[in-house]
Structure 1
Amino acid sequence: MRVFGSSGVRGVVNDDLTPEYATDVAQAAGSVWGRDGDVDRVAIARDTRATGAMLADAVASGLASVGLDVDRLGVLATPGLQAYAEREGVPGVMVTASHNPPEYNGIKLVGADGVELPRERLEAIERRLLDETVERVAWHETGDSRRVDGVRRAYIEGLLAAVDREAVAAADLTVAVDPGHGAGSITSPDFFRRLGCSVKTIHAQPDGHFPGRDPEPVASNLGDLQRFVRSTNADLGVAHDGDADRAIFVDERGEYVEGSAALAALAAAAIDEGDTVVSAVNASQRLVDVTDEAGADLTLTPIGSTYIVSRIRDLRATGETVPVAGEGNGGILFPSYRIARDGAYTAARFCELLAHRGEPASEVVARYDDYVNVRRDVEYDGERQRQAMLDAIERTARESVADLDTTDGYRLDYGDGWVLARPSGTEPVVRIYAEARTADRAEDLADQLYGALSGLRVD
C-alpha cells in the first residue's frame, strides 16, 4: 500500500502530513464507509500531540463533507477508541503517530468491530484517495458533530472487567506508570489504582511536546523511569508510547525488561499445545523457544500491527486458536479480549503474572533472558538514498552463508543468532535488528549489515 503502510498514515505535520491531506484521507474513508449504506457516523479520537486538535478538526470536516456524522471523543488511547467503536458499532479514526517524535502525526482507521481495517479495505480507501473519487454531498446533507463524554471511564471499566482484579489487588503491587506525556496519562494511572495497585507516576502530564522523554518506550528513553522505580521501591515500571497501545516494563530492580522477554513470558502463560502464536519477522528466539516447548505453532508476518491483525483474522476464520500475538516492541494482542494492541491491558496481564506466581518481575522474565538484542536506525534522505541502502543490504545478504528470509526486508539466520534489516514503515530510516546469546555476537551481527551502509554515497 502506498498510503497506509504498516501502521496507517504518518508524516511530519505541515510537511508530509497537512490538514488538507488529512481531510482528503477522511473523505476517501467516509466515501467507502458511506457507500456500504450501513454507516452514518464515525468516531474520532486523538493522542496528546500538539497538532492533534488541528488534524482531528480536518478529519471531522472531511467526514462531514461526505455526509457522515462525527462523534468527537477527544484525547484517548487508541485502544479506548477501538473499544468505543466495537461497543457502538461505528468505525473510527485515530489521529496519532504512536511512538514517533513530536513533529509527527498520523491517521489510523478502525472498523465498526473495533479492529484495524484489513488490507483489502484500506486498499479500497487508498484507491478512492489516489483516484480522487470521493462522494461529497449537498450542503443540506452534510454531517453533524457531537462531543461524547464518559468514553475514558467506559474504557477503564471494560479493562477492569477483563482482568483478575482480586488477584492483582491481593498482591499489593506498587506500579510506577510512565505514560510519556501521551494519551495513557489520562487513563492508565486511574486504571491501575482501581485495579488495586499503589500507583506512582512520572511523565504523566498530557503534553504533546513530550518534554520528559521521547514517545518511543525503548531502553534509551527510559532512564528516568528506571531511577524512579528504584527510588520508590516499586514492584514494576510500566511505560507507554504516545497512544498507549504498547507497554514496556522495568523490573523491581530498575532494570529494563526486553520487550521480547515480556512477550515470551506472557505467551508462555497463555498458550497450550496446538495453539498458534502470531508475531512479526523480527520475532525473538525467546518466542520460538516458548512455542516449541508448549507444542504450539508460530507464524510470522511482515512487521506492523496491520499484518499481525490480518493474520489473526485469517487463522481464526479457519478454526485456529490464537491466544496471544504481537511484537517485542510492547505491542501485544490477546485476541480473546480484543484484536487490538492495548498497553494498559498488557500491563495488567503482566501484573496478573506477578500475582499468580508470587514472584518479582526480574524472576518472571529471567527464564527468557538468554538472548541479547541490538537495534540500530540509519537515516536516509530521499528515495534514491533509501533504495541505495536496500541494494547494499541485499548484496550483503545474498553473499552471506546464513539462511535468508525476505518476508519483510532481509533476515539472516546463523543458528547462533540472527540479523534483520528493513525500511521503517513510519519513519525515514532503515532499521537493523540483531539477536544472539552474547552482546558481542549481537553487535557483530548488527555491524555486518550496518557496515554495508557506512560510507555509502548516492550521486
Structure 2
Amino acid sequence: MTTINIQQMMADSGVAFGTSGARGLVSQMSGEVCAAYTLAFIQALNLSRPGQRIALGMDLRPSSPEIAQACVAGIRQAGCQVDFCGALPTPALALYALAEGIPAIMVTGSHIPFDRNGIKFYRADGEISKADEAAMTSATVTVEAAVAELPAVNPAALSQYCQRYTSLFAKDLLAGWRVGVYEHSSAARDVLKEVLAELGAEVIGLERTETFVPIDTEAVGEADRQRGRDWAAQYRLDALISTDGDGDRPLIGDESGEWLRGDIVGLLCAKFLGADTVVTPVSCNTAIEASGWFKHVIRTRIGSPYVIAGMEQVTEGGVAGFEANGGFLAGNGLSVNGKRLAALPTRDSLLPALALLAMARGQGVKLSGLLQGLPQRFTASDRIQEFPVANSRALLERLQADASAYRGLWGDTLGTPVASDTTDGLRLTFASGDIVHLRPSGNAPELRCYAEADDMPRAQKLVADTLQRIAG
C-alpha cells in the first residue's frame, strides 16, 4: 500500500498531462503510476459508488495490456466495476460511454512512438476538461494493488460504433469503388474494413502488422507518401483510408494516393454535415474562413479540450469541431441526408472518411475533385523529434522578444511580419501572405512547425527551411 501525491508523482515519473491525456515513456508508466492516475480520476470526479461501471479500452501498442491491467486494479480498488471493451478505436469507446452514461478510460498513446504510451479519461458526458485535469493533479491517493487480470471483452462498443455509420449512409454508397485500407497497427483497421465493405466498397487491406507503427497524420513521412502513390497505382484505387494508432485521426488519400491535409478534410466534412459554426485550432488553414461556408468560425488553442470548450459555447445551429490532424468532433445540429447525427464530441476518424467519400459520390467526382473551387491556401507541417519542451519555449520567447533573434533565424527570406498570434506558440503572418507557426508539442518532446502559403511547394519549403535552421 502506497500513498501518492499526483503532483509529485508527475514530477518524479515524467508521466504528465499534455494536450490529450496523461503520457510518458513506457518505462516510466509503472503499474503504480497508472493505478494512481486511475484512482485520481475516480476521486476527482467523485465516481466511487457501488455499481458504478467504468468503460475501459486500449490500443494495439505492446505496452497497452499491462497498463490496462493497472487501470483495472485502480477501478476495482475504488469499488467500481470494469466494463472492458478490449482493443478498439478511441471514438468507439467514447461513443459507448456516452450512450451508457458512464465514464471511460482509454489506454493509448495515439500517434507517438511505441516507447511511449498514455491514458485518456472521459466523464459520462465526454472528455474531461482542463479543470478536471487540475483536480486530478492535486489529488492524493493510496494504491493498494498495481495489477489485476483483464476481464472478458464486451463487444458492444465496437458493434455500436459500426452501427452508427452503417445505419447513417446508404448501403450501396460505395458500390463500384475500390478502397484501400492502410491497416498497419491501427486499432480501427478491422472496423474500417467492415464498415466500408457493408457500404458496398471493394476493400483491399494493405500493410497489416503486429509491430506498432507511429503514424502521425499531421506529419506524414515521405515513405508513407510514396506508399500511397504506389498502392493507388498498383490496385487502381478510388480512395485510400487509414488512421493513427487509436483511430481518432484520419488519413485519407485520393485516387492518386495523395494524402489530404487534415484541416481540409475537416473543412469538407463540416460542409457535408451542414455545420453553421466551426470550432478549430489556430493552426488550421485560413481557407476555412475564406470559403464563406460557415456563419461563424471560432479559433482555439491546439488540443481537443480547447475545441470542445469552444463548441460548448455555441447555442444555436449545427456545430462541428476539427483539428489540423483531421480528427473530427461532431456537435449538435448536424445531419446526413436529413438523418440526425448524434453528437460525438471527441476526435473521430471514421466520420470524416465516410463524409468525404459520400460527398464525392454525391457530386459524381473523384476525391481530388472535392478540392476544386476551394480557396488556394495550402498547409504543411513537420516536427523535430527529441527536442526538449524547455528548448522550444526558450526559442519562442527569444523570437517574440528580440527582432535580432528573428532575423538570426530567417534573415530576410520571409519579409516583414505583419501579424503575430500567441494563442498557442508563435504564429507569424508575413506581408507576402506566408504564415509560419511554431509550438512545442503537448504530447512529446517535439517542436512542431506549421506553414501556410499560396501553393503546396512553398508551404513545404517554409516548414523544411525553418526546421533545418532551428536544428542547425
TM bucket normalised to smaller: 0.7 to 0.9
Pair 1:234–1:382, CA change in 2 (3 A): closer
Counterpart code for 2:326 = G
Q: Give the 5 Å matches for 1:168-187.
A: 168-169=173-174, 171-187=175-191
CA distance, structure 1, for counterparts of residue 234 and residue 375 of structure 2: 24
Quick one: which amino acid aligns to residue 216 of structure 1? D
Could you say what secondary structure the match of 1:187 adopts? Answer: helix
1:261 to 2:264 alignment: yes
Match of 1:202 among 200, 206, 212: 206
1:324 equivalent among 309, 320, 332? 320
Distance 1:185 1:192 in 2: 11
Q: Matched residues in 2 for 1:232 and 1:447: separation?
A: 32
Describe the shift of the 1:322–1:123 C-alpha distance in structure 2 as closer, same or farther (beyond 3 A). Answer: farther
The aligned residue for residue 13 of structure 2 is none
Instruction: Give the whole-Å Cα distance in 2 for the aligned partners of 1:13 and 1:285.
Output: 37
CA contact (8 A) 2:36 2:142 kept: no
Contact kept? 1:417, 1:437, Cα under 8 Å: yes
Task: Tell me the TM-score normalized by structure 1.
Answer: 0.86
* Aligned with 1:270 (options 247, 259, 273): 273
CA shift, 1:44, in A, is 0.7
Decide whether aligned partners of structure 1 residues 313 and 179 sit closer, same or farther in structure 2, where only a CA change above 3 A counts: farther
Aligned to 2:18: 5
Name the SS for the 1:172 alignment partner.
Answer: coil
**Distance apart, 1:343 and its partner CA:** 0.9
- Tell me, in whole angstroms, the C-alpha distance in 2 between the residues paired with 1:172 and 1:276: 34
Mark the CA change 1:174 to 1:38 in structure 2 (over 3 Å): closer, same or farther. Answer: farther
Say if 2:266 and 2:328, in contact at 8 Å, map to a contact too.
Answer: yes
| 2:296 counterpart residue number | 297
State the match for 2:339 in structure 1: none
1:157 aligns with 2:163: yes
1:228 Cα deviation (Å)? 1.3
Whether 2:396 is the aligned partner of 1:390: answer yes
Per-residue deviation, 1:145: 5.2
> Which residue of the other structure, out of 417, 420, 424, is the alignment partner of 1:408?
424
Give 1:420 shift: 0.7
**Where is the helix percentage greater, Structure 1 or Structure 2?**
1
Q: Give 1:153 deviation, angstroms.
A: 2.1
SS at 2:319 equivalent = coil
**Map of 1:432 onto structure 2:** 449
d(CA) in 2 for partners of 1:78, 1:117: 14
Offset at residue 122 of structure 1 (A): 2.2
Give the match's secondary structure for 2:380.
Answer: strand
Taking the aligned partners of 1:152 and 1:82, their CA distance within structure 2 comes to 11
Q: Write the deviation string for residues 396-447 of structure 1: whole angstroms up to 9, x where unpaired.
A: 6796632111110111122512111110001101111111013564356447
Is the 8 Å Cα contact of residues 285 and 378 (structure 2) preserved in structure 1? no
Q: Alpha-carbon deviation of 1:379? A: 3.8
Contact 1:99 1:241 in 2 (8 A): yes
Aligned to 1:419: 436
Gaps of 5+ in 2: 1-6, 11-15, 333-341, 407-415
After TM superposition, the structure 1 stretch with the greater mean CA deviation from structure 2, 182-191 or 215-224, is 215-224
Q: TM-score, normalised by structure 2?
A: 0.84
SS of 2:436's partner is strand
Segments of structure 1 that go 5 or more residues without pairing to the other structure are none
- Give the Å deviation of 1:154: 2.5
Aligned amino acid, residue 454 of structure 2: R
Q: Determine whether 1:29 maps to 2:41.
A: yes
Q: Which residue of structure 1 aligns with residue 118 of structure 2? A: 106
Cα 1:413–1:451 shift into 2, 3 Å: same
Q: 2:338 aligns to what? A: none
Shift of 1:256: 2.3
The SS at the match of 1:284 is coil
Aligned to 2:412: none
User: Is 1:279–2:280 an aligned residue pair?
Assistant: yes
After TM superposition, give the deviation of residue 267 of structure 1 in Å. Answer: 2.7
| Distance apart, 1:24 and its partner CA | 1.0
Matched-pair contact (CA < 8 Å) for 2:263–2:325: yes
Preserved contact between residue 49 and residue 102 of structure 1 (Cα < 8 Å): yes
Which structure carries more strand by proportion? Answer: 2
Distance 1:103-1:174 versus aligned 2 partners, 3 A rule: same
From the superposition, tell whether residues 146 and 71 of structure 1 become closer, same or farther in structure 2 (CA, over 3 Å): farther
Question: How far apart are the structure 2 equivalents of 1:288 and 1:369?
Answer: 9
Amino acid at match of 1:329: N
How far residue 353 of structure 1 moved from its aligned partner, in angstroms, is: 0.5
The letter of the residue matching 1:123 is A
Q: Is 1:334 the equivalent of 2:337?
A: no
User: Residue 417 of structure 2 aligns to a residue in which SS?
Assistant: coil
Deviation (angstroms), 1:67? 1.5
Deviations 1:6-45 (A, max 9, x none): 1111122013x33221111001012233457587121110
What is the one-letter code of the residue matched to 1:334?
A: A
Please name the residue that 1:72 is paired with.
Answer: 84
Give, in whole Å, the separation in 2 of the partners of 1:314 and 1:123.
Answer: 21
Per the alignment, do residues 383 and 298 of structure 1 end up closer, same or farther by CA in structure 2, a change over 3 Å counting?
closer
Alignment partners' CA distance in 1, 2:44 and 2:54: 12
Asked if the contact 2:42–2:48 (Cα under 8 Å) also holds between the matched residues in 1, the reply is: no
In the alignment, residue 413 of structure 1 is paired with which amino acid? T
Instruction: Name the structure 2 match of 1:232.
Output: 235
CA distance in 1, matches of 2:457, 2:98: 47
In structure 2, the CA distance between the partners of 1:373 and 1:382, relative to structure 1 (3 Å rule), is closer
Q: How far did residue 332 of structure 1 move?
A: 1.4
Structure 1 residues 407, 383: closer, same or farther in 2, change over 3 A?
A: closer
TM superposition shift of 1:450: 4.0
- The secondary structure found in structure 2 opposite 1:45 is strand
Q: 1:122 aligns with which of 113, 133, 137?
A: 133
What is aligned with 2:413?
Answer: none
Q: Helix, strand or coil: the match of 2:374?
A: coil
